[in-house]
Amino acid sequence: MLQRIVAACDWLSDWSGKTVSWLIFPLMITITYEVIMRYGFSAPTVWAFDTGYMLGGAMVSLGMGYVLLQKGHVRVDILYDKFSSRVKLIIDFLLTAILFFPMMAIFIYTSWQYFLLSWARGERSGYGIWEPTLVPFRFVILAAWVILALAGVSWFIRTTVSLFKGENL
């Protein structure tokens, strides 16, 4: 059962990270188009800024679970690397339980509230003159925190099994 949970969480993290990595191309096209129009033809666009931060924000936020799956998040290795494998597992277990899950609960709850408020008010971007709706972007941020939390569930299950059974999942 635990293996299926881990596999499902890992699949979602892997799929979301690899899928959103393709957003780099529309982001590059958007920025390139804006630069050419602005500086080459003195005709800046009204949509490029909003599109750029939404694409970039979606790419970075939806990639967080993938980065955790690949163990790519930054950690302070000065002390951590000097510990034994068992002490590392204990540290990972405690910090995931004490810090990671409560923070994920706060971020998911807050993102859910922002999404509902955005939906109810028909929130629009106030950064540019195009003013697109922010509802899809708010949903992406909520989805990103959920995917990261599920990647954390997978991480926690692996850590727990390794710590208490000495086996790797």
pLDDT at 127: 83
pLDDT score recorded for residue 81: 85
Position 105 scores a pLDDT of 98
* Residue 71 tokens, joined: 């163990």
Between 129 and 69, whose confidence is greater? Answer: 69
Distance CA 29, CA 72 (A): 27
The residue ranges of every structural domain in the chain are 2-165
Dist CA 47 CA 127 (whole Å): 10
Helix (H, G, I), strand (E, B) or coil at 58: helix
- Average pLDDT value for residue range 26-52: 96
Rounded to whole angstroms, the Cα distance separating 16 from 146 reads 12
pLDDT in tens, 102-152: 999 999 999 999 999 999 999 999 887 899 999 999 999 999 999 999 999
**What confidence tens digit (pLDDT) does each residue in 48-58 have?**
999 999 999 99
Distance from C-alpha of 124 to C-alpha of 8, rounded to nearest angstrom: 35
Taking residues 149-165, what's their average pLDDT?
95
| Predicted TM-score of the model (pTM) | 0.91
**What's the pLDDT band for 78 if we cut at 50, 70, 90?**
confident
Rounded CA-CA distance 2/154 in Å is 9
Quote the pLDDT of residue 143.
98
Position 169 scores a pLDDT of 60
